[in-house]
Amino acid sequence: MIGAPNWMSCSVDSSALRDPITDSSVPAKQFEAVTLETTNAAKCDLAGQVLHSFGTLRLRVTGSSMIPSLWPGDLLLIHRQDFGRISAGDIVLFARQGRLFAHRVVSTAGDRGNEQMVTQGDALCVSDPPITSAELLGRVSLVLRAGKWTPPRAGLSTGGHLLAALVSRSVRAAGLLVRLRSVCRIQREQEAPCES
């Protein structure tokens, strides 16, 4: 993209431009992987462009790394935010390696122009590598869950820590909790009176 800021740049492997139907040198699995990688990179670029142009973005949570703060299916309202206005405890959106992540800020460090912050998913055992201002897209300001917009909590309660620890140690437990929560949400929606 001509004249695009650094945070909007992405590289596309030229093999993604080959036609797998006419080019037998591209195995189907490799094509699928390259297509997924290219699609994810395009989503990251689009999210960055929307936040840069309009200042806000809505994204649906798909992963489980932030359980219990964020659940799959939650809708996030993200606002563009200067690096210096982010604090420990905030949940931020950043792009890395063609993927988007919404994780909690553990710490910030560095001088002006060379700032870095360390993030970590609430349900993960280890922190992410430090992110730079070029990777930061914005801060999660509201979460839509059960029809209500609420600001994310700055940290976890004791029960939240226990639930996050369970999810971080067991993929099965995470899957079971997500399915159970989904069933409960569907039942609540069916029991709720219709509103016009």
Is residue 139 scored above 50 in pLDDT? yes
pLDDT in tens, 2-36: 333 333 333 334 444 444 455 555 566 666 666 77
Tokens read off for 104: 């909690």
Stretch 148-174: mean pLDDT:
85
Tokens read off for 147: 């029809």
pLDDT in tens, 62-82: 888 998 999 988 999 999 998
In sequence order, what DSSP letters do the residues of 121-134 get, joined into one string? -TT-SSPPPPEETT
Instruction: Give the CA radius of gyration of the chain.
Output: 19
Pairing type for strands 148-150 and 56-60 reads unpaired
What is the third-level CATH fold of 56-190?
Umud Fragment, subunit A (2.10.109)
The number of C-alpha atoms within 13 Å of 33 and in the hemisphere containing its C-beta is 7
Chain region(s) in the chain for CATH 2.10.109.10: 56-190
143 within 8 A of 152, measured Cβ to Cβ:
yes
Can you give the pTM of this predicted structure? 0.72
Burial 150-168 (b: 16+ CB within 10 A, else e): eebeeebeeebeebbebbb
Q: In whole angstroms, what is the distance from residue 47 CA to residue 136 CA?
A: 11
pLDDT in tens, 74-108: 999 999 998 889 999 999 999 988 889 999 999 98
In sequence order, what DSSP letters do the residues of 146-192 get, joined into one string? TTEEEPPPSS--HHHHHHHHHHHH-HHHHHHHHHHHHHHHHHHHHHS
> Is residue 143 classed as helix, strand or coil in its secondary structure?
strand
